Amino acid sequence: MSPRDGADAFPDATELADPLLTVDDLRTWFHTPRGTVRAVDGISLTVRRGTTVGVVGESGSGKTVLSRSIMGLLPTRDVERAGTVTFAGRDLTTMSAKELRSVWGPQIAMIFQDPMTALNPVKRVGAQITESLRLHLHMDRKEARATAAALLDSVGIPSPEKRLRAYPSQLSGGMRQRVMIAIALACGPRLVLADEPTTGLDVTIQAQILDLLGSLQDERNMAMILVTHDLGVVATRADEIVVMYAGKVVERAPTPTLFADPKMPYTRALMDSIPRLSQPSGTRLAAIAGRPPDLVDPPQGCRFAPRCPYAQDRCRESEPPLRTAGSADHLFACWFPLTNGRPSAPLTNNEVTP
Amino acid sequence: MPDDRELAATGAAAELLADITPGDAALSEEAVSLAVAGARRRPLGIIFWLAVTWVGIVVIAAIFANLLPLAHPNFQNYSAINTGPSIHHLLGTDDLGRDLLSRLIFGARVSLVVGFGSIAIGMIVGGSAGLVSAYLGGGWDATMNGFAFVILAFPQILALIAITAFWGTALWKITLIIGIGSIPLIFRVVRASTLAFVNREFVVAARALGASPARIIFRELLPNVLPAALSFAMIGVAGAIVLEGTLAFLGLSVPLPTPSWGNMIAEGSTNGQLQQNIYIMLWPAISMFLLLLSINLIGDRLRQRFDVRESLV
Amino acid sequence: MLVTYLAKRLVQLIAVTFLISVIVFLLVHLLPGDPSVTILGANDTPQNRLILLHQLGLNKPLVAQYATWLGQVLHGSLGQSYLTHQQVSQIIAQGAPVDLELIVLSQIIAFAVAIPLALVASRRSNRPVDRMATTTTFGLLALPPFVLAPILVAIFAVGLGWFPATGTVPISQNLATNLHDMILPAVALSFGSIALYYRLLRSDLIATLQEDFITSARAKGLHPRRVMLRHALRPSTFSLLAAAGVNIGSLLAGAFIVESLFAINGVGLALINAVEQRDYLVVQGIALVVALVYVIIQFIVDFIFTVVDPRVARG
C-alpha cells in the first residue's frame, strides 16, 4: 500500500463542488438503565473546504457527543446512531472499523478538550506524535522523529527536540494543548474537530492557541468544526455558527447574520454571557438560569421553554420546527423569534421555575 | 443515614446523564448502572441465597453434630476400612475405619469457630480502635495508623507458625492468634471508611449540638461504617479459614485426632492415600472450596450493595 | 524530587526493618517453652539446664540478649542450629533457590494467564467472555494451595501420571527434569495470583479505557490491539504491581504448603522442622530473613512504581 492510498480513496476535495462534510439528520442515543438519552437528536450541518463552523451550546447540550458521533468515535455498546455523515462523498456511518481507522488521522482528526487527560500520561510526547506518522505515512523511526520535531516547531514549541522526550505532565497547560494540536495535524487532515480546545486555559493563552489554529488552518486549507460553550470564541473565527440546545440545532447562520439578528432567545442569552473587555470589571455576566433538560425525558414543546423568559403556552405545547429567516442560510427554531435581538410582541414573562 | 447515601448515589447518576459526553457514555456501561443500582437496590440474586444456604447448612450441621445420627468422629471401625460411599457410611470411611461424614461435620467446627471467632475478635478490637482513631484524628491517629502499617509489613504466616509452635495449638489459641493478627487490617479498613464520614454535615451538626463523643461514635458514625465493615468482615472470615487450613495442613493447628478440614486434607494427601482412597482428601477439599466460595460471594454481594470500594483496603 | 522521595522511603525501610527484628526476637523469646527442655530432654537436672541456658546466653535480660543477637546479625552471623550445628545462613542458602524458583515460576504463570485474559475481558466487559473469565477467577479465589495442590496431585500425578507426585532434582543437575517436576507445584501456587491479578487488572483496564487519552489514541486511527497494549496496559498496572508486592506474603504461606506436600526442600520445610524441634535460632534467623526479603520486595515494587508512572515522582 503506497503512502497516498489513503488519500486516493477520497477524490481530491478541490475537484468537488460539494461541501467537504455533510451531516444529515444525525441522531445519537445512549441506552442507559435509566432510559434512552437522546444526546444528539436530528442534527444537520455542512462544512465547506477550508472553512470553520462553530458549534455552540452549554455543557449538556450534546455538542461533544455530536463531534464524536460525526467522527464515529463512540462506544460500541448501548449506542444507537442514525442519519448520515458524508465526508468527501463517502458515508462514514456505513464504513467498517478498518476503513474508519484509515480516515482517522490523515482525513479527519480531533483536538480534545483537556490535553491533560487526552494525552497519555505515561508515554513521552514524541512517541505520541510519531505513532500516527509511522502508521499512516509509513515513515521510519528517524523520519518520523524529524517530522514530529518540525510539527512541534510549527505549533510554536521552543526547543522541540527536547520536548519530544518530555512527559505530558512536564509541560504547561498551553504547551500541552499545542502538543495536542501537533498530534491532530500530524498526518495532514482535511477536517479537524476541535472540542473546546481552549477551555481551562487562561485568556491570553486561549487567544494564542486559537490564532495558531487559525493560521495553521489557512496554511493547510483545512476545514474545522470548533465546538465551544463560549460564543465569544467563535465570534471572530467561524464562518458559520450552529447553536445547539438539548441535542437539537436551535439556530444556524453565517456568523455576521447571527450576531446582527439572533432569532432564538437562547442564542441571545449566550451572547449576553460573553464577557466583554469594554465592560467595567465587576459587571455581572447575564448567565442563563437553570440547567439544560434531562435528555432521557425532555420537556414537551420547545426544549428551551422552561428556561425561556418569553415562553408562551404554545412553546410548552408544540415543538417549533427549524425554519428560515430572511435568507436561506439562516435557520432557527422558535415560535416567537426576536427581531434585532428584542422580543417582537409584548410578551408576558415566563414564570421562573428553577 | 441511609437516605443520605441513596440521595448521593441518585445525584451522581443524574449528574452523569445530564452532563453527558461520550466519555461518560462509555462509563454508562458500569458507572451509570452502578450509580443507578445503588439508588435502586437491585435484588441479591439466587446465587447469593444459594451461598447463604450452603453456609447455613454447614453451620447448623456443625452446631448440632452431637445430635446427628453419626458415629463418633474418632471411632475406628476396623471391619470397614477405606470403604467408598455406601448406605452405612454415606461418604465412606478412612484408613482407620472412621466415618468420613462424621469427621467432615465435626471438622467443620474448627473452620467455623476460627473463621467467625477470630474475625469477631478483630472486629471488636480493631473495628472500635479504627472508629475511635478516625474520630479523634491528630497525632494519636497517625501513630496508630503507622503502627498498623508496620505490623502489616510482617508476613502473617511466619508469625502464626512461630506462635502456634511455641505456644500450642488449642482451638481457642488458634482463634485468638488469628483474631489478633486480623486487627491491623480491620483497623485500617474501618478507619478509612470512618474518615469518609467524620467531616460530613450530620456529624459536624451533631458535634455542634454538643453531642458527646460516645454518642457521635455510636449513633452517627457506627451505623454508617457498619455495612462496609461487615462486608469486609466476610472476606476476613474466608481469609481466617484459609489461614487455619494452612496451619492445619502443616500440622500446626488443632492436634490430631480431632478432625479439621485442613488436617483431613493433609491426611488424605499422602501419595498412598491418594491412590487408595481419594475420598479422605476429596470431601473436605470440596467442602472447603464451597464454603470459601460461598463466603466470598456473600461478602462480594454485600460489598456491591453497600458500594464499598475494594481499594479501601 | 525522585531522590527525596526515595530517601524518605529508605528511612521508612530502615525503621520497619528495625521493628521487624524486634518483633521476630520477641516472638521467639516471649513465648512459653523452655529450649533447655527441648535440647536436653525433660529428665535432665536443673543444674545442667542452667549451664546450658548460660552457654546459650538465655539467662541474661531480654534487652542484652537482643543486643547480642543484633550485633551478631549485623556482623553477618545468624548463629547456628543447636541440634545439627549447621549455620542458619547455610540452611537458608540451601533452601532459598528452590523457593525462589517456585515463586518466580508461579508468578510467570500467573502473569502469562492473567494479563491476556484481563486484556480480552476488559475490552468486552459484561459480555460472555468477560463473565466467564470473571466467574472462573472468582472460583479460583476459593482454592487456596492446601485445597488445590492435593487435587492437582490426585489428577495429574496419581491419576494421569504426567508429573511426579513428590520431589525434584536440583536445577543445577538437570534443568529440563527440574522444570518438569516444578510445573505442578508452581501451578498449584499460581492460582491465587491469577485470580488476584486478573481481577485487579481487569477493573483498572476498564477504568483506563474510559479515559480521554484512549479516545484520543483511537482517534489517531490506531489498531485496537495497539491501543490496548501500548496505551491502556501500562497506566493500568499500578494496582497490579502493588498487589504483586503485597502478595509475596501469601505466596510464602503457599510455598510452605507446596513444599510440604511435594517434599521440596525449601526454606519453608526447614522452618517448619525447626519450629517442631524448638530450634529457636534457626526459627529466628529464617523469620528475620524472610520478613526482610518481604519488606525489601515491597520497597522495590514501590521503586518500580516511580519509574513506571512519571506522575508519582512529581506528585
What is the value of ipTM here, to two decimals? 0.80
- The reply to whether C212 touches chain A by the CB within 8 Å rule is yes
How many other C-beta atoms can be found within 10 angstroms of the C-beta atom of residue B6? Answer: 14
Same domain as A149, residue A77:
yes
Q: With an 8 Å Cβ cutoff, are C221 and A183 in contact?
A: no
**Closest-approach residue (CA) in chain A for B10:** A34
- For B289, the closest of C32, C147, C291 (CB atoms) is C147
Residues B35 and B24: beta-carbon distance below 8 Å: no
Q: A87 touching B, CB under 8 A? A: no
Yes or no: say if A189 and A222 are a contact pair by the CB < 8 Å rule. Answer: yes
Cβ distance A207 to A233 under 8 Å?
A: no
Report, as an integer, the average pLDDT of A103-114: 89
Residue A353 — very low, low, confident or very high, per pLDDT cuts 50/70/90? very low
B204: left (phi over 0), alpha (psi -120 to 50) or beta: alpha
Residues A251 and A221 in one domain: no
Look at residue A353 and tell me if it is in a domain.
Answer: no
Q: For residue B12, is pLDDT > 60?
A: no
- Contact of B313 with chain C, judged by CB distance below 8 Å, is answered with no
Chain C: give the shortest CA distance to residue A208, in Å: 23
Mean pLDDT along residues B290-306: 84
- Please state, in angstroms and rounded to a whole number, the distance separating the CA atoms of residues C226 and C153: 40
* CB contact (8 A) between residue A34 and residue B29: no
Same-domain pairing of A144 and A253:
no
Residue carrying the nine cell digits 492415600: B273
Output the pLDDT for position B24. Answer: 34
Q: Does B150 reach chain A within 8 Å, measured CB to CB?
A: no
User: Domain count of chain A?
Assistant: 2
Could you tell me if B29 lies within 8 Å of chain C, comparing CB atoms?
yes
User: Which residue has better confidence, B4 or A95?
Assistant: A95
Q: How confident is the model at residue A224 (pLDDT cuts 50, 70, 90)?
A: very high
Query: Cα–Cα distance between C94 and C90 in angstroms, integer?
Result: 6
**Chain A residue closest in CA terms to B19:** A60
- The answer to whether residue A349 sits within a structural domain is no
Q: Is pLDDT larger for residue A346 or for residue A261?
A: A261
3-state secondary structure of A82: strand
Least Cα distance to A107 among A84, A136, A79 occurs for A136
Dihedral sign (CA A139, A144, A150, A151): positive
* CATH number of the domain encompassing residue A219: 3.40.50.300
Q: What are the Cα distances from residue C65, in Å, to A20, C16, C22, C26, C57? A: 86, 20, 11, 11, 7
Residues A187 and A62 both lie in one domain: yes
Measured between CB atoms, does A165 come within 8 Å of chain C? no
Measured in angstroms, the CA of B309 and the nearest CA of chain A are apart by 22
Q: In what order do the strands lie in the sheet with A191-195?
A: A108-111, A191-195, A223-228, A52-56, A240-245, A248-254, A327-332, A323-325
In percent, how much of chain C has pLDDT > 90?
Answer: 5
Q: Are strands A52-56 and A79-87 parallel, antiparallel or unpaired?
A: unpaired
A116 and A238 in one domain? yes
Q: Would you state the pLDDT for residue B32? A: 36
Which spans in chain C are helix H?
A: 2-29, 35-40, 46-56, 62-74, 88-123, 128-140, 145-152, 175-209, 212-219, 224-226, 238-262, 267-276, 280-308, 310-314
In the A/C pair of chains, how many CB contacts fall below 8 A?
76
User: Given an 8 Å threshold on Cβ–Cβ distance, is B150 in contact with C139?
Assistant: no
| Residue numbers in C near A180 (CB within 8 A) | 216
Instruction: Indicate the domain borders of chain B.
Output: 1-41, 46-311
Q: What is the rounded CA–CA span in Å between residue C199 and residue B162?
A: 32
**C33–chain B Cβ distance below 8 A for any pair:** yes
Tell me the nearest-neighbour CA distance from B228 into chain C, angstroms. Answer: 20
Instruction: Tell me which of A353 and B309 has the higher pLDDT.
Output: B309
Task: Extract the runs of DSSP E, i.e. beta strands, from A220-288.
Answer: 223-228, 240-245, 248-254
C205: chain A residues, CB-CB within 8 Å:
none
Instruction: Note whether C215 contacts A112, CB cutoff 8 Å.
Output: yes
Note the pLDDT tens digit of each residue in C297-310: 877 877 776 666 55
Note whether B310 contacts C: Cβ–Cβ < 8 A: yes
Tens-digit pLDDT profile for residues C248-257: 777 877 888 8
Q: Does A306 touch chain B (CB under 8 A)?
A: no
Candidate from A105, A118, A136 with C-beta closest to C213: A118
The answer, for A64 touching chain B at a CB cutoff of 8 Å, is: yes
Contact B155 C253 (CB under 8 A): yes
Partner residue facing C220 (CB), from A104, A113, A169: A104
What is d(CA A171, CA C314) in angstroms, rounded to the nearest whole number? 12
Residues A39 and A101 in one domain: yes
Cβ–Cβ contact A132 with C under 8 A: yes
Which domains, ranges and CATH numbers included, belong to chain C? Answer: 2-74 (no CATH), 88-276 (1.10.3720.10)
Measure the CA dihedral A145/A150/A151/A153, to 10°: 130
Q: Identify all chain C residues contacting B288, using CB atoms and an 8 Å cutoff.
A: 147
Looking at the complex, report in whole angstroms how far the Cα of residue C154 sits from the nearest Cα belonging to chain B.
6
Q: Which residues of A touch C129 (CB under 8 A)?
A: none
Which residues lie across from A102 on neighbouring strands? none
pLDDT value for A192: 93
C103 with C264: CB under 8 angstroms? no
Same-domain check for residues A132 and A59: yes
Give the helix/strand (H/E) hosting A83: strand A79-87
Residue B311, H or E segment: none
Q: Model confidence at B312, in pLDDT bands (50, 70, 90)?
A: very low
The reply to whether A350 falls in a domain is no
- Distance separating alpha carbons of residues A63 and A270, to the nearest angstrom: 15
* Runs of H (alpha helix) within chain A: 5-8, 63-71, 97-103, 115-118, 125-136, 141-154, 160-163, 173-185, 203-220, 231-235, 255-260, 265-272, 313-317
- DSSP H helices, chain B, are 2-18, 22-27, 33-40, 46-63, 100-122, 128-136, 138-152, 156-167, 171-198, 201-208, 213-215, 222-249, 261-268, 271-276, 279-306
What are A108's strand-pairing partners? A104, A191
A21 and A104: one domain?
yes
Tell me how close the Cα of A18 comes to any Cα of chain C, in angstroms. Answer: 25
CATH of domain B46-311: 1.10.3720.10
Q: Distance between CA atoms of B108 and C168, rounded to whole angstroms?
A: 34
Per the structure block, which three cell numbers stand in for A217? 488552518
Residues of C in contact with B161 (CB under 8 A): 256, 271-272, 275
Is residue A154, in this structure, part of any structural domain at all?
Answer: yes
Q: How far apart are CA C211 and CA B62, in angstroms?
A: 50
Q: Is residue A290 part of a domain?
A: yes
Contact criterion met (CB < 8 Å) for C309 and A122: yes
Task: Pull the grid cell for residue C68.
Answer: 547480642
Instruction: Identify whether the C-beta of residue A151 lies closer than 8 Å to the C-beta of residue A186.
Output: yes
A86 and A233 fall within a common domain: yes
Contact between B194 and B221 under an 8 Å Cβ cutoff? The reply is yes
Averaged pLDDT of chain C: 80
Instruction: Look up residue A333 and give its amino acid.
Output: A
Q: What percentage of chain B exceeds 90 in pLDDT? A: 4
Label residue B41 by pLDDT band (50, 70, 90).
low
Going by C-alpha positions, the residue among C167, C189, C190, C188 that lies closest to residue C178 is: C167
Give B150's contacts (C-beta < 8 A, 6+ positions apart).
Answer: C15, C16, C19
pLDDT of residue B27: 33
| Residues from chain B contacting residue A64 (CB–CB below 8 Å) | 21-22
Q: Of the candidates A116, A146, A135, A196, which has an alpha carbon nearest to the alpha carbon of residue A5?
A: A135
CB A164 within 8 A of CB A152: yes
Chain C segment 177-196 residues within 8 A of B by beta carbon are: none
Mean pLDDT of all residues in B66-70? 76
| A255 and A174 in a common domain | no
pLDDT tens by residue, A16-36 = 456 899 999 999 988 888 888
Domain region containing A239: 3-244
Q: Is B148 exposed, middle or buried (0-12, 13-18, 19+ CB in 10 A)?
A: buried
Please answer yes or no on whether C219 and A73 come within 8 Å at the CB atom.
Answer: yes
| Four-residue CA torsion sign, C113, C115, C120, C124 | positive
Write out the three cell numbers for C251. 505466596
Closest CA to C299 of C89, C8, C101: C8
Residues of A in contact with C227 (CB under 8 A): none
Nearest-CA distance from B226 to chain A in Å?
A: 29
* Residue length of chain A: 354
Residues A20 and A160 in one domain: yes
Q: Where is C171: in which H helix or E strand?
A: none
Within this chain, do residues A100 and A216 fall inside the same structural domain, yes or no?
Answer: yes
**pLDDT per residue as tens digits for the range B249-292:** 888 877 778 888 888 888 877 767 777 777 788 888 899 999 99
Q: What is the pLDDT of residue A287?
A: 64
